[in-house]
Structure formats: structure tokens, C-alpha cells
Structure 1
């Protein structure tokens, strides 16, 4: 299969430079004397040069952007550059367009001119083209680089051959277009944007069953149908129901022997795509169901077999007879997903996005009402990013990033706005795509809303299907005791000497302590909306908490925050090393996650592990145990600067772990096990949770008088409802 990655806007048909014309449709180079088709690699390198002219591109940048961080040696890079240089040197009189900078990299010394479908040069599009060039000159760079490009309008205009063309007629025409746009856009805003800052919502039940679990809501592009998965309590299999949003009629449309979930729609809402999945039987299939007028299924067809342990997301590109979906297993990491376009006739696929390995990838995609753009969510540890791109992946733009958890994004009917709901903070946010301005509304509802979708004129949601509670698990008796019984979620248990702490959601969040069989709510004000990681240091009695780039040190005895810090990069994980230093896993500009030592007195950072890490812990003998992106574990000696491989848990996509003494405890969600660093033996402590009913979300290890006990955060599932939300005054 030949994979060609198009890096330009789909309206760009040619790029002219020196004596050459690059045809983006055929991936060929044309001069007065020759026409030659480029290999996919040569084409991609040339595109990257064109998008980054007159600047030095390092080898590392090529590896990251062109080879997508796959290992490539210097000989391969040299050969690829030489091959492209040879193609561009068709005659002896041709200038050398690719310059080598000793020990620095390469640069493309040439001015470029973009030609659009209507054969108008870029310079004729004085305002529109500038916006495109400014925002999209380099789709493969990191977030920080994208920001710097967005603030460098004049330099970007110069590099792309931008020319000012004053014209009173053009100015008048553009002014009229602006007025028309503002008038048209003013009537297309979401209805809730005109409401007060706090929305009081009243729910109306749309689902018919009182004894089931609803999940995976999917709104049709026409906004007249809502597909939901519903758990059949008789066989514990998820089925798909269709809710007519005019009549509120519930119709069962898909009932298979295995779980089925709606994952996407045909753009005309006449068909739905769904996934049949069973991890135990290693089954993953994508099907399409076509509807009759009465919303009953007329026909079903299997589209293809997929390889995923996760539920996918999908949109359709009918003009090209393609689907674009979230494909897991990217770079051989089971939990890492990228957007891939698949030809429905030939089955051929090409990659649309290239997430870095430090992330969980692109987890959700939605098609614009104009059918020319997709929005997708990139998920990282403690960070969500919203991108927009053309259907082929070109012209990618980072619109917004936040440490809050975003699960779905919805388009407005005019494709000018995006909206999403954050369940933790109970906020509904709307982003203006052109201005990048975000407006947020706080929600007060008569029920716990776990999931919300914004339609063009309505809000739809599902009440909470799960609850996180803290249990104390006795290993000797294999019994568990629930400590708090509330509808609010409890999370992040932190074991301390002879007891433990945990947190409860709310405004503000609450800190609980459990000592001597007594549960106490501690009054403490923490100025963070939630936490990404936390650790307790026994010698000082302090708890360190992180959120985004923020650090807080808490004294639970004195019930106060005693210190605050802000670092420059995202904090992925933390652990105490000693009284003066914290170990931090920080995400860098190159999307690497290395381990740093942070001194609490001087606030200085020192990198100590140059390998990628997800999480860390300190051993009793002052070594560092860390987990890499592939769930491999290593033991690093900071004194000697050497490390050794410990064990691999790469077959498990989901891992939570804690180090207690010489024992590594880890959870797979359904089980909890213990691995001895001394004997290298593994012991199962909790086995085979029925993950349909509950799963191990987090845990900690407590010890009193030499007796170990587990403090387990268990996520349990319960019946819920699908609802329509109305604003009340």
C-alpha cells in the first residue's frame, strides 16, 4: 500500500519554487525539462522544507516530524537528504536549494509561492492566506512552537512570499463580508450563551428503562436522533437504542451476542456505524446499519475487523468514500491512538494525525456541519488538547488546551463554535474558533450529570453511571469495608503511618483522614480544582500534590497548605525523594517525559533520568523506580547513573502501581497483584473483579503493627438515565 501524507491545505494544488513546480495531487516535481514522481519519504521531507523555509532544521526535528520519532540512524537521514538533493539538481546550472549546516542540520534556501485551485497565487489572498500561513506553517511542531508561530505574523508573511496589495475595492468587499459574517454568526450562537453565567438546569427523562445503564451517547449530524448503548440486565451485554428526539420514542436497533456501541454516523444521518467488541475473545468489528423512515434498521453490513481493546470514534467522508477513525496500537502501544483514514472500497489506510508517544493519542473525532473539517481531542497525562484539521490531516491547528478532562466536543450549526462539558467542575464551555475566546457557564442541575452533549438547540446528557468510593481491604480475611457511602466521588487514597487520607469531590474538595477506625473530615482549603498525582513523606508528615504545572505542599496535621510552587512544564507524576527534594516527571517541549529533581529550597530543577517515564517512586535505598511508556519498569541508581530492567507489564494497557518497601503493588483494573523486588516473585491479592459491575481505579498500601492493608478506590456502576436538559429561571 502506498501511503502519501499531504501536508498542505486541500485547496493548494501547486507550490512553485526556483525552477520547480510541486504538484500536491500527484506528488510530482515538474520543471521545463523533466517530470519526476517523488517517493513518499522524499515528498514528506520536501513538504517539511517548504513549510519551514530559510531556517535550520535539526536532525532531531526531522526524526520527530518526518519519521514520527521512530528510530532512524544518521546514514538513513543522509541518504534521504541526498536523494532529495539529487532530484532538485536536475541540471548543472540549478542552484543548491538544500544547504548543510555543520553539526546543526539543514535549511531550504528558497522562496515559495502557493497556487490554489483557482490558480490565484498566494499573494492575491492578502488576508486569508496570511491567516492560514500564520496558524498552520508547521503542523508537526510542538505546542510551544505553534504558539511562537502564531505570534510571528510578519516573519511568516516574509517566508511565504507575502505581498501587501492595497485596494480600496478589496477593502470595501472585505468590510462587507465581515458585516455579513457578523450578522449571520450572531444568530447562530448556542442558545445558552445568551443565558446567565450560572445555568439552572432541569432534566427531563428520555430513556424508558428504570433498570439499566446507559452510556456512549452519539447525536446524529441532523440533530434529530440520539443513539445510546444500553446494558441488557439479563445477559450483561450492551445493546444500541435509538431515541427519536421529536417523539422521544426509544427503538432497539442493534442487539448482538457481544457488546455493541455507537461510534459514528453517516453525514446525512441515514446510517450509523457501530463497534462490536469483546476483549476476552479478542473480537473487534466495525459495522454499518442503514435506517428506514421509521428509524428501524433496513440493513446491516460489516465494514472491517479492527484491533482494539478500546471503544473507537468515527466520522465519514462520503465524497472520498472514506471513514476517519481512532486507530489504537499506534507505534505498537496498545493504549495509543491516531486518526486514520480508510478507503471503504479498497481498505487502504493512511495516517491523518501523528500523536507523540508520551500521550494517549487522539481519542475522539467529530465532523463539522460543512463536512470539510474535523475536530479531535488529544489526551495526555493531566492535559487535553483540542485540534482542528482538514479531512486529510493537513492544516492542523491547536485551538485550546486544558488540564480538565474533556471527553467530547460538539460543533455549532454554522461550524464557528465548539462546545464541551467538564463533569468534574460542572462547567459548559464554548470556544469561538476564529477568535480563540472561550466562554464558560457553571451548571446547577437536579441530578448528577456524568456526560453531556450539546446539540444545535438543546443539551442532552446521561446521569452518573458510576461512583468512586474508598474501601479498606483486609488481605487476611479477603474482606472489604466501605468507609464512605455518598453520591459524591472519593479518590486518591494516600497511605500514611497507621492510617490514610483520601479526597472527596465538591466545591471545595474535602480531605478525609482515617485513623484508629475513625473517619474524620478535615477542614482545609486547597486552591486546586483537582489533582493529578500525590505522595506522602513520612519524615516530614507532608503531602505533595500536583495539578497541571502547580505544586502544593500540605500539612494534614495543621490542616493547611504550607507552600506553593509553579514549574514551567506539565507535571505528569511526582514522588518524594527526601525532605528537600521532589522527583517530578515533566513533559518537555519535545513531548518527552523525563525525570527531574526539584529542590524545595532553591526551586532549582535538575534532570536525572533522560529516558521517557510515566510514573516514579523512590525505594528505601534511595534508588528510583520508574515506568516507561510501554509499561516496562526500571531501577535507576542516581549515584552511579546506571539503571537495570526490572519487569515488563506491557501486555496490560491499564496499570496503577505503588511501591511499598521492597514490594511493587500494581492493579490492572480487574486484579491487584504484588511483585517482590527481592525474590522477583508475583502474588495475586485481589483477583478477577467483574469489571461490568466495578473496577479498581486506584489504591494505596497501609501498614500497622507489621500488618498490611489495602486502601482501594473502587469504581462501581449503577443504573442511570438519558435526559434532556432545560434552563429554568
Structure 2
């Protein structure tokens, strides 16, 4: 899972703490402690409680706890005397006082293999921190039901699978919280999704697409519920329920919006927030599971009649592991998005009957969550990260088509059950840049596009400011002349990368920009 901690991004699976100043690799116990703090912000937590839940009762001294606290403070540049992150309460314990919001992109409690991720692929959490000005909204949109089957079109017209014309998108959820992990029922009448409330509660919602009525799939008050998957006949759902100390999967009969009593089918490892999906056989589900927080995910199959669990044949496990998979629309095959040790993603096809695993293609990039197209002969995925477009690839990865362009950042795609349309989860954020005179206190705006402007860097002579802006739909380097107050777009990058740092050379004649896997010289 990922969290926004003030201006940092914390990913427990990759064990990293990311800010615009760079990335820090955390030790395993630092990760475990920080996860616990993120789940219990603004609570005074005793050392005994930390030893019980973070060190899981292992015999450790108070000094061991203090050492990890000190290391966390160091990586946050936090002053114990004037803390912004970890406050000490003598003889009582510690309180994590930073502004914490869960993120996910890509799946959060279901970890993503990308930097977006967790329950996934894909949660972007609304933050109250004014510095970030993060005003997010999550759209679950459909490539509209007006998609028309047409004859062969000119090359200039956007098409997918040669016969579907792209015509637009519509909003399916408008809750006050953030909505992720959409799944349309097989009859197309209902949508299930996870809704993240302002108090960080994760709820599973089933909504009628006709009447717009909603029902909440509820368990205990302290439990997070979701994501869910519909059975092939649309009469049941399988879904995840988690709390600090539990991880369980349930099935539940659904008649319209009427819910029957839940049935516990599997107890997963504590801290394992994977995803589960029915196969084309109602009695078999596939799910991802790890051995506890911070460990990589593997894929398993569960027979609902015998309750026998079987590990699937799958790619080698690296980083977050094999948490991302998609069932073929008609065949008993999985599409697995699996990262290598460099975080570059390979796409694999697994035949569930023969257990034959084939590598389709790899991308020398960090791109999350490929899915089968409706015909199952192509793949649909985001066009880079961050992405404002969806792309369709043939199964060799060579033939690429852009099938949709959005005005907001796309987190990941899903198939609609009608066999034509697609869903996507998307969010928008807005960061502006201001120049403040520290002597007289005056300030003026350098960049205030309706999207993100960030990473300002002064040239050595102080006359120019370089920054990253999404004003043209993708992240580009812009220049601002402090004297004339004019702006100039410097680059035309076409790789839709996300940049983490920007620096001038000592002579002011060049810039370097850092993305996930590359350094660019301009």
C-alpha cells in the first residue's frame, strides 16, 4: 500500500519513501513501524503496543524500538524537539502527527506493482494539506455505450480491435469520497466499487446503474471491505475484508441490491491485501496473497467446494510480486503483469487448464495493469505513467494504437461486461508554484495551470526558473524568466514519464530530469 505523508509518498511494498528531493530506501523494520503509524495516526502508542504489533511479540529491548524511531526521524528530517512527524510522550509512547492519507492507485490494499498502488492498481486520496493543494476526484468512466461497430476506417480514426469506434466517456460514480476498483455485473445493471471516506474507512458499494440506488456491503465497524468480483452468472460476489489483525475472503449472494448472509471461504495472511476473481467456473477463484506486510505477492487458485488452495505457475517474483492479473473474457487464461528487478513490467499469459506460462512481451518501462481486450486477442493498458491515454497492443507488443485520451490522469483500465466498452479510474491534482521574496514578503505566481506545476529550480544566475508542468497534457520542462515574466515550454517529451527531480547544470546551460528509470539531459 501507499500513503501520502505530508509531502512524502511512502510505499510499503517497495520499502521506499519518495519526495521531490529524492527517494530513500527503508529498512524492513522501519517499513513495518511506519505502516503501523500510518494506520494509527494521532494516537499515542506505547512501546509495549509497538512490540506486540510491529515486532509481533518478539523479544526486543526498548532500545531497539528507540533506534528504529530515531532512524525514521532521520529519514523524515524530523526534529524530536519540534516534531512534524513523530512526537514523543514521556512514559506514554509515541504519536504519529503527520498528515496521512492512503493512496492507491493502482489497488491499495491490493498492492500495485507500480508506484501508484495499492488497494492499487489504483486509490488517490483527497488530502487536506494546503501545501499540496491535492484536490483529487476519482472518476469511474465508460467508453460510452454509444461505441459503434463500423466497417474499416481510415488510419486517422481511433479504433480498437478494428471494429469499435471511440466516442467518449461518462461518469458512473459521484460519491463524496474516492471511488476505485470498479466491476460491472455480468448483466450490466450494477457496478461494485470501493469508496474511501474522509475518515479513511474503505467501504464496498454496489450501485444500480439505472436507479442510482446504493447498498453497502458491511461487516464490523473497524473492517475495510473490498475489492469485489462478480460470479459468472452475476448472482454472487467474492470480496476481501481486512482489519489490523485479520484478512478474510467472503462470498455473498446478491439479488438485485438485496444481500444475503456472507459466507467465509478463506482466511489469508494478516497484512495480505490481495485481490480475488472468479474464473469462468463459478466454483473456482484466483487470488493474490503474500506472507505478510512487505513481502511479495504470489498467485493461487481456490476450489470453493473442496477449499483446496493451489499455487499457480507464474513468473519469477520480484518487488511487489505478481499481484496484478486479469481473466480472459472467454477463455480460462490469465494475463499477468509482473515486474522484474528493475521494476520493468513483463506481460505473461497463463493457461489455467494446462498451466502453460508464456511471456507475451516486456516493456522497458514501469506500466501497470494490462488487461485483455474484449476479443482477447489484444491488450489494453495505460500509455506510460502517469498517463492520460489508454493504448491497445497486439500480443507481441509491436502494434500499438491509442484508443482513448482523457483530460485527467488515468490510473488503470477495466473491461465492461457488455463486451464493447471499458471503464477507467482517473484522478486530477493541482500544484502551483509561487515565488516569495523573503526580505519584503511579497510573492507572485510563477505557474498556475489547472494541472500540476512542480519541481521549480533556479538557474545559477537567478534569472530563470525551470519547472515541470502538465499544462499541455504530459509532463514537460518549462522556463520562466524572472525579469520579463514570460514562460517558454522547453521540451516535447512523448514518453509520458513522471519526473521526480529537476536540476540546472553549474553553468546554467543545461538541465537534467529524473524519472523512474531514466535521466534526461536537456
TM class by shorter chain equals 0.5 to 0.7
Is 1:400 the counterpart of 2:361? The answer is yes
1:373, CA displacement in angstroms? 0.7
User: How much does 1:429 deviate?
Assistant: 2.4
Query: Secondary structure of 2:322's partner?
Result: strand
1:469 aligned to which of 428, 431, 442 = 431
Whole-angstrom distance in 2 between the partners of 1:226 and 1:286: 19
Counterparts of residues 713-728 of structure 1 (less than 5 Å): none
Equivalent residue, structure 2, for 1:336: 296
Is 1:355 matched with 2:316?
yes
Partner Cα distance (1:432, 1:394) in 2: 22
Separation in structure 2 between the aligned mates of residue 482 and residue 283 of structure 1, nearest angstrom: 48
TM-superposed deviation, 1:337: 2.0
1:544 aligns with 2:501: no
**SS in structure 2 at match of 1:369:** coil
Match of 1:238 among 199, 202, 217: 202
Give the aligned partner of residue 206 of structure 1. Answer: 172
Distance 1:407 1:492, change over 3 A: farther
Whether the 8 Å CA contact 1:384–1:404 is kept in 2: the answer is yes
Comparing 386-395 with 306-315, greater Cα deviation is found at: 306-315
1:489 Cα deviation from its structure 2 partner: 3.0
Taking structure 1 as reference, are residues 493 and 391 closer, same or farther at Cα in structure 2, changes over 3 Å only? farther
Which residue of 1 is the match for residue 62 of structure 2? none
Residue-by-residue CA offset, 1:22-65 (whole Å, 9 max, x unaligned) = xxxxxxxxxxxxxxxxxxxxxxxxxxxxxxxxxxxxxxxxxxxx
TM-score by length of 1: 0.41
Three-state SS of the structure 1 residue aligned to 2:335 is strand
Q: How far apart in 2 are the matches of 1:212 and 1:484?
A: 28
Deviations for 1:310-357, whole angstroms, at most 9, x for unmatched residues? Answer: 74222234759543222235xx88153222234544454425324343
Counterpart contact for 1:340–1:353, Cα < 8 Å = no
Residue 127 (structure 2) aligns with: none
Q: Please state whether the residue corresponding to 1:530 is helix, strand or coil.
A: coil
TM-score by structure 2 length? 0.55
Q: Equivalents in 1 of 2:367, 2:235: separation in Å?
A: 28
Partner of 2:491: 525
Q: 1:443 aligns with which of 388, 404, 408?
A: 404
Q: Secondary structure at the match of 2:261?
A: strand
Partners of 1:431 and 1:365 lie apart in 2 by 17
Decide whether the 8 Å contact of 2:313 with 2:350 is kept in 1.
no
Higher helix share: 1
CA shift at 1:239, angstroms? Answer: 1.8
- TM-aligned CA distance change 1:452 to 1:303, over 3 Å: same
- Distance in structure 2 (CA, Å) of the matches to 1:530 and 1:446: 14
- Structure 1 window deviating more from structure 2 (504-513 vs 444-453): it is 444-453
Q: From 246, 249, 253, give the equivalent of 2:212.
A: 249
Match of 2:372 in 1: 411
1:547-586 → structure 2 map (5 Å cutoff):
551-554=519-522
How far apart in 1 are the matches of 2:402 and 2:324? 23
- What is the CA–CA distance in structure 1 between the aligned matches of 2:268 and 2:174, rounded to whole Å? 32
TM-superposed deviation, 1:286 = 2.2
Distance 1:472 1:532, change over 3 A: same
Give the gaps of 5 or more residues in structure 2: 1-146, 160-164, 439-443
Q: Name structure 1 gaps, 5 residues minimum.
A: 1-188, 555-729
Deviations 1:447-506 (A, max 9, x none): 665554332122333442x526367999x9xxxx99755442345666876797441223
Distance 1:310 1:515 in 2: 50
Contact 1:383–1:402 (CA<8 Å) still a contact in 2?
A: yes
CA–CA separation in structure 2 for the residues paired with 1:261 and 1:237: 11
Asked whether the equivalents of residues 513 and 519 of structure 1 are also in contact (C-alpha less than 8 Å), the reply is no
Structure 1 residues 485 and 356: alpha-carbon distance in aligned structure 2, compared to 1, 3 A threshold: same
Q: Does the CA-based 8 Å contact 1:470-1:484 persist in structure 2?
A: yes
> How many pairs align?
351
Contact (CA 8 Å) 2:381, 2:412: kept in 1 or not?
Answer: no
Q: CA deviation at 1:524?
A: 0.6
1:326 equivalent to 2:292? Answer: no
Aligned match for 1:284, one of 232, 243, 247: 247
Is the CA contact 2:250–2:265 (under 8 Å) kept in the aligned structure 1? yes
Aligned to 2:266: 304
